[in-house]
Structure 1
Amino acid sequence: MVDPIATYNFQTLAVQPAIEIVPGAAETWVAVIPSICEINKPFTLRIKVEDTWGNPTNKAKARLYIKVRGNIKNLPEHIDINPGKFAHEITGLVVDEEGDFDIVLSTADGTLLTKSNPARAMEKPTLKYYWADLHGQSDETLGTNSAADYFSFGRDMAFLDACAHQGNDFQMTESFWQDLNQVTAEFNEPGRYVTLPGYEWSGNTALGGDRNVYFPAEGRTMRRSSHALIESQHDIDTDCHTAAELFESFAKHNEWDVICFAHCGGRYADITMAHDGRFEKSVEVHSAWGTFEWLVQDAFKCGYRVGIIGNSDGHKGRPGASYPGAGWFGAVGGLTCYIMPDLSRETLIDSIKSRHHYATNGGPSGRIIMDLSATFEQPGTVYQDDPALFANSQGVISSEAMMGDIVHLPSGDLQLSLSVTAASPVRRIDLFNGLDHLECHRPYSAEDLGSRIGVLWEGAEYRGRFRSVVWDGTARFDIAKVSSTQAINFFNRDKTLEVSDESIVKWQSVTTGNFAGFIATLQDGMKGSIEIDTPLVKETIALDAIGLEDTVLDASATLPRALRLFRLPDENPNTSVAFEQRLSPLAGRDNPYYVRVTLEDGTQAWTSPVYILRSIA
């Protein structure tokens, strides 16, 4: 409507103006293949192109040439990409021998465009790896585009195996809840794409904080935190105003098949106030809101036995590929890999309940292959349901366990084994026993170090909203010269990293519990010093003092904040790493052994713990 003569008399235009929102030019290529492929069974290569902001774009035109690490049958000599389509599929590919492989796409002159995620071919795998983002919103609540568009994007643009919608409950009318149930039912396709119906219980932190709620089937009752933005009050008697009331209500109504996650968004979850392991199976370590290792640590402090997950919690309707955009978000959305025999709602729910999954912080290298297992000197009793919560929990006598298992091991040591295969080189592997950091393993030694220096900044102001830490700053080299830089976790294109005069690196950056930074390749990399100037850290460090171990410049306040420097090899070929450690579990406490993997390009992954118990109270 317009006020044509400034009389406050508005008239409706006969032709309504419209603005078409379109993607930008092609910039980044993405190739995705299944993480686990069965020998002689067909699989599909999926390809898309993103613009500078991570939007899928249909403006690419290229002839792609293919290189393979491994033996793949039925690959074409080349792939022609023409404008008009957002995603492309090459079907009917087959691997005929066991081993790890990936697919490289390049131009005719050999210019690398992208490399797929790593994959593993197996004879008859009993368990496969499926990727999911189970947390995000659409336009019907606090997001963009419709719920149907949301699920379509997850399947067709992000190439997810599983997806779920989590609208704020105080906005979700009964009508939308019914519509959403219809959408999840229509998109659910076992073997191809699995959906779960659910919502976000959105109580304030003082009442317990945000919780994700999932059902195994449609048609269930929403138990909201409130009806704050819902006009109809006909079902207000089902509201649960605290997280504790929510769990109690599930139990009262025998809804033992409900699954919940605790997460940190606008109203961070306080699991020290309210948690019920019969329903709440995992905590969200990473989302587009940042990285929240403190939430995992809260669980260990309280003795909870939970899994670790990552999701996007995105509001842009883009599950599985949720980039931060131009606001104050500094992280890309996370992913979770669920380890299960096949793709269905039943197996997904079983994987969540048994904590057989691991989290990553998403991004270009987010689909890491990880395997964490334990073998025992003496047999133990392996549980999937927590025996402290379920009296009828049945254990199995075994000499081995996988991530997520709860094991009663009265005596004897264990051997913890981790294998990692990634698209980017591994920088470090950190082993934890709950709150205790046991060891940092790097796939190279001090003798391998060269002229590359890493500078990373990390942290958050506090747990709640507006947690961003501003790290805008410079690094000045007084003698060494900067040959090149690699930006780490610069997903917000308004936040840039630049080099001037071969000696000054300048950047704009924020972190929200995650980290960002750069790797600089130097000439005369042992001479002189580096002067760091940021709002929180101002320090000069001699370059020859920067070595294998991180030099940490601490600026912690309510939560950890720090800037760290370290030296890297000139070349790090270690994209596949195996790590073993002999451990003696402690008595009188849980031993939640888990691993955090950090890649050179800034990707991180967290396994769910293997819980080792000397006794069961």
Structure 2
Amino acid sequence: MKTLSDEELTNLAGNYFAPKGLYRHTKALPFLGSLECNTKTLIAGQWTELIVEYTVGASGLADGAWIKGTFKFYSDWALCQTSDPKEDNYVSLEYTPGPLHEGQTAATVQSLAVRFDQKGHERPFQKAIIVNIVDGDMNPGDKITVRIGDRRWGSRGTRVQTFVEDKFLMRWYIDPVGTSRFAPIKPDIAFPIKSGPVARVKTITPRVVRPGVPAPLHVHTENIWGNATADLGNLKAEVKLIKVGSKAEVVQTKTLPFAAQGWTVMNDTYEFVKDGDYDLVVAEIAGLDVVGYTANDFNITKEKWEHTLEIIKRVDSPGEFVVFPGTEWCGNSAAGGDHNVVFLDDPKTSQPEFPFDKKGNVARSFEWNEDGPAELIPGAWPLDEVYATYAHTPESHLLIPHVGGRRCNLAWHHPQLERLLEIGSAWGLFEWLLRDAVKRGWKLGVSANSDEHRGRCGGGVPGTAVFGTKGGLTGVLADKLRRGEVAKALRARRTFATTGERLVGIVRTDNGHLQGDDVFVKDNEELVLRYSFFGAGGYSSIEAWDASGRILHRDLQKEAETHTTASTPRKIRVTWGGARVYDRYREAVWHGSILLPGAVISHIRPFGGVLHNAEDEIKQLSQNQVVSETRTSGDFDGVDIFLDDTSETPSTISVSGHLGGYVKVGDALKGNPHNPQPRFNLVATAKDFTQEGGVRDDIVGGAGLFVSIDGLLDVPLPKRVEGSFTVKAESGSGGDRAVYFVGREYGGGKVITSPVFIKYDAHFAHHLHLLGPQNWKPKTGFFVNGTAPSSKNPIGNPSFPGSTTTGGLNWLGFDISEFNHTTILAYNLAVGGATTDSTLIPTYTEGVATYVDQVNTFYDAYVHQETPWSWDDVLIGIWIANNDVGQSFDRNDTSSLYPKVSAHYFEQTQRLYDAGARNFVFLTCAPQQLTPLMIEKGPESNAKVAAAVKLYNEILEKNFQKFKIAHPDAQAWLVRPSKSYETAIANPQEYGAPDAICTNEDGVSCLWWNNYHPGIQIHHLLGADVATTVGTPWFNPQ
């Protein structure tokens, strides 16, 4: 109701009694009250006292009413506490009654109660300071003062979140009548959190570049918490390019200005003119080439999604910066767990199926956000329905199981959609997840990403809450920085993952295979895997792993110690790490003490994650004691301890302390003990910790919790490591073997390669089934009852390359021996002179098996066999067009005949699909009018041939498109042989022929083997075209 005048009140209400003037005062107040804050701007990580004053609104507050001051769950603002006013982050309350109007009753509130609850409200505003009104009520105009980080008892105050935010929001909610239903008090308290002064300069460059290729250089300044600074003006950087190992030879020097406004960044390029290692001393900040943007799917509204796509379309720049849109399917672990869904197609030309799929079904996990419905509405749930949503076009999607808030459950796996596994992010490091996948036999490559919710993709250092490590990085081995090439590389698992450093790990075989590839070897055959690792701080070890565990350990610390002198300093290294649990809130909080009785410490050098967290600390307390307060989330912290020259090595060392975790409920000051083993105590003798490998104590519970002590020489470790490892197969091993490599730097950096997938039995090779006529399709003399194809003879029978009409290899031979990505077993059912259906177009001679007959043979021989193939590995190749045209081009009814023939053609193809085939490559009719035979027949006949070829191909291609639309779960490719023919005919001399029409049965002196069959050069071009069109996993694109 509007505010009534005195006259209106009298007319409507009549005579009544009320406090004088209170009506107008009440109506002038916001109904739910108002907020004031003493702060207009803050610096990330600073200590402050935040004072919020709430003025009770017109609603007043009933006995049992309560108020919540909330901020977002991802903020790492220090946890508040209400138990000890002398400690940091204490929250206090004060009540101030407002002036009373004449006749107004005083408030009856007896006290205010305050507590802090990490889960005190709804996401995203989960963290809550909760104020309860106890025993009485409050009047409009009364005030509650909340001091966050009350400094009046001597504390430092409260520590602000450690990352920058243009508009930090503290949203206050009120339940004025005690019903436990809340409404926001508007407006929110909002202020910017800025980065503050420069603490360091950070340089980002590629770790490996080709000679002569310009390499980008990114330089920016950061504050103590790793935030890029801004608006500092007139800063410059001197950048030197130094040749490593050449006595600091300076190759180039530049002085470059930073941006005066906005982020303090500058960018440049360098060109490395020859091979070698270089140091640079000194995407905008993070220097990324590829970004996949995702957010929790339940939080994405249709409007926000469309806005995000528009931004991606605008910033995506082929050759410079590629951005993939995506979402995070947020399923509980019991329903499959978190999965990133990455849309690989260009959003400019292909609308991603989100938030609805193509059938109108909800594609998100559920709909439940601050702007959405009051009730939780389930969508694609469980993970099975996510698979069902996107499996129709797996090449357009990439699902990445990961460990964030809701750990992925590897009991689920979709081989076509899930090609990568996230093994590191700001949530922590999860090498154990890759081991689990390999043991299960899942064929997954590796990735590491940010997922840190704080706007620092590729550059985020850990804060102080649930995001306990640096954001990770994924290395992609793609030919070009373009969407299509990057997408193919991701789905081909040609990746490596790092803990955030610019490290590189590459594994290759002698025949050109890389990590992520299938490599087929003969039973009992050894496979040499060659590795190259490029680091930043220096590698301490290189390892190889398979399902059985670690199968290679190259100790680079030990190797480096063999090249030392007697004067090389010694050190004692103490390391601790791991995670408290496998799930969310995995942070392990270490309170440790290192005692070296009788020793004298000269100095210490901390390493690991502690260097990235300004609140963690390792310090020397006395001449023989070091203490630590650090946190790990699957990573490790540690300290190198150097003794004074006069000190003896201590006879014993003890590392002891207590272990806790992140406090997600209850009093932050009381901590959260690691219940399986809350205390640790490792005591080692000098004999123990100076032996190879030192001593290690694995702590009960958690994910890889440990403490270790090593006696080492202080030697420089290599930043570039290369070598080889021979994988030996046991007799009759068969099956698959996934082998991946790990490069570990002494300071905590790590790079893990995707596995190489070794297949020892030819049964597991990719199959290529060929159907067609002899004249154009490569009949090789294969009999289904003869010797089956194998790695020794990929066509089975007769001996490779079989009977051909080229003078040597035909296009099939090239595809399975030169252009193959893996071992391909070719089952060639093509028969000479075959047509699609002899009832429509007769075969070359009577009794020749048609396409119909060949499909029947295929069914009889292979569809119902005892050990079926995996249809994902089977490619059906069909080239039946040439005899269809060659046997009918001079007929007068081709316009009505060819549609019938094409209908029968695709009826047979449908039978192949029904049998389980999902991969098809169709070849159109070759340009027969270009053959010497057809040219000899004269212009009139030649024109008929050309017209027939054109008509046949038009109908074939139209039906091909219909087939693709009708079978979205299948992959189908179309190859036009005319390209290969015309390329060679246009330049015969380039391909070894004197002209375009000569023939020679050697297959190489002319383009033609005889006047109808092309020779080797045209077949080589055609084989390359097929390989490029289809690509992996069968072929290497040319």
Bucket of the pairwise TM-score, normalised by the shorter protein: 0.7 to 0.9
- Give the equivalent residue in structure 2 for 1:19: 191
Provide, for residues 551-598 of structure 1, a one-character-per-residue CA deviation record: whole Å limited to 9, x for no partner: 211113253321122233222242222232222034144221111111
TM-score w.r.t. the length of structure 1 is 0.81
- Give the equivalent residue in structure 2 for 1:526: 649
Change beyond 3 A, Cα 1:326–1:74: same
Q: Pick from 453, 458, 462: which aligns with 1:315?
A: 453
Higher helix share: 2
Q: Is the 8 A contact 1:170 1:230 kept in 2?
A: no
- Give the equivalent residue in structure 1 for 2:754: 608
Provide, for residues 285-340 of structure 1, a one-character-per-residue CA deviation record: whole Å limited to 9, x for no partner: 11111111221122112211110111111110111112221324331111111111
Q: Pick from 686, 694, 699: which aligns with 1:543?
A: 686
CA apart distance, 1:529: 2.2
- Relative to structure 2, which stretch is displaced further, 215-224 or 202-211? 215-224
Paired AA for residue 410 in structure 2: I
Higher strand share: 1
CA apart distance, 1:520: 2.1
2:318 partner SS: coil
Q: Is the 8 A contact 2:243 2:251 kept in 1?
A: no
C-alpha distance in 2 between matches for 1:44 and 1:593: 33
Where does 1:487-526 land on structure 2 (aligned, <5 Å)? 487-490=607-610, 491-523=612-644, 524=647, 526=649
1:184 partner SS: helix
Q: Is the 8 A contact 1:471 1:534 kept in 2?
A: yes
Provide, for residues 11-38 of structure 1, a one-character-per-residue CA deviation record: whole Å limited to 9, x for no partner: 9x99998633221221122112233434
CA apart distance, 1:444: 3.9
Change beyond 3 A, Cα 1:14–1:542: closer
Q: Pick from 717, 737, 748: which aligns with 1:591?
A: 737
C-alpha distance in 2 between matches for 1:461 and 1:44: 40
Change beyond 3 A, Cα 1:589–1:550: farther
- Give the equivalent residue in structure 2 for 1:150: none
C-alpha distance in 2 between matches for 1:104 and 1:195: 30
- Give the equivalent residue in structure 2 for 1:54: 226
CA apart distance, 1:161: 0.8
Paired AA for residue 572 in structure 1: P
Is residue 2:555 matched to residue 1:442? yes
Aligned sequence identity (%): 23
Q: Is the 8 A contact 1:167 1:200 kept in 2?
A: yes
Q: Is the 8 A contact 1:300 1:435 kept in 2?
A: no
CA apart distance, 1:87: 4.0
Q: Pick from 201, 211, 218: which aligns with 1:39?
A: 211
Change beyond 3 A, Cα 1:570–1:522: same
Is residue 2:719 matched to residue 1:575? yes
How many aligned residue pairs are there? 538
C-alpha distance in 2 between matches for 1:302 and 1:487: 35
Q: Pick from 365, 372, 379: which aligns with 2:507?
A: 372
Provide, for residues 121-178 of structure 1, a one-character-per-residue CA deviation record: whole Å limited to 9, x for no partner: xxxxxxxxxxxxxxxxxxxxxxxxxxxxxxxxxx222111111221111111111111
- Give the equivalent residue in structure 2 for 1:257: 396
Where does 1:391-410 land on structure 2 (aligned, <5 Å)? 399-410=511-522
CA apart distance, 1:450: 4.9
Q: Is the 8 A contact 2:540 2:717 kept in 1?
A: no
C-alpha distance in 1 between matches for 2:393 and 2:725: 43
C-alpha distance in 2 between matches for 1:481 and 1:330: 33
Where does 1:62-461 land on structure 2 (aligned, <5 Å)? 63-64=237-238, 66-69=240-243, 75-81=252-258, 84=261, 86-105=263-282, 155-216=283-344, 217-218=346-347, 219-222=351-354, 223-229=363-369, 239-251=379-391, 253-254=392-393, 256-272=395-411, 274-362=412-500, 366-375=501-510, 399-411=511-523, 412-445=525-558, 447=562, 450-461=569-580
- Give the equivalent residue in structure 2 for 1:8: 140
Q: Is the 8 A contact 1:191 1:344 kept in 2?
A: yes
2:502 partner SS: coil
Provide, for residues 170-208 of structure 1, a one-character-per-residue CA deviation record: whole Å limited to 9, x for no partner: 111111111111111111111111100110000111110
CA apart distance, 1:83: 5.8
Q: Is the 8 A contact 1:338 1:348 kept in 2?
A: yes
Paired AA for residue 417 in structure 2: F
Change beyond 3 A, Cα 1:204–1:237: closer
Q: Is the 8 A contact 2:339 2:399 kept in 1?
A: yes
CA apart distance, 1:415: 1.4
Q: Which has the larger radius of gyration?
A: 2
C-alpha distance in 1 between matches for 2:713 and 2:404: 37
Q: Is the 8 A contact 1:244 1:275 kept in 2?
A: no
Q: Is the 8 A contact 2:540 2:745 kept in 1?
A: yes
- Relative to structure 2, which stretch is displaced further, 157-166 or 52-61? 52-61
Change beyond 3 A, Cα 1:311–1:367: same
Provide, for residues 22-72 of structure 1, a one-character-per-residue CA deviation record: whole Å limited to 9, x for no partner: 212211221122334343343332101111100011348465352412699
Provide, for residues 493-512 of structure 1, a one-character-per-residue CA deviation record: whole Å limited to 9, x for no partner: 21111112232111112222
Is residue 2:584 matched to residue 1:465? yes
- Relative to structure 2, which stretch is displaced further, 493-502 or 352-361? 493-502
- Give the equivalent residue in structure 2 for 1:131: none
- Relative to structure 2, which stretch is displaced further, 13-22 or 296-305? 13-22
Paired AA for residue 94 in structure 1: E
Change beyond 3 A, Cα 1:73–1:220: farther
Q: Is the 8 A contact 1:42 1:91 kept in 2?
A: no
RMSD across aligned positions (CA) = 2.9
Q: Is the 8 A contact 1:588 1:614 kept in 2?
A: yes
C-alpha distance in 1 between matches for 2:432 and 2:381: 25
1:560 partner SS: strand
Change beyond 3 A, Cα 1:577–1:9: same
Change beyond 3 A, Cα 1:585–1:26: farther
Q: Is the 8 A contact 2:477 2:489 kept in 1?
A: yes
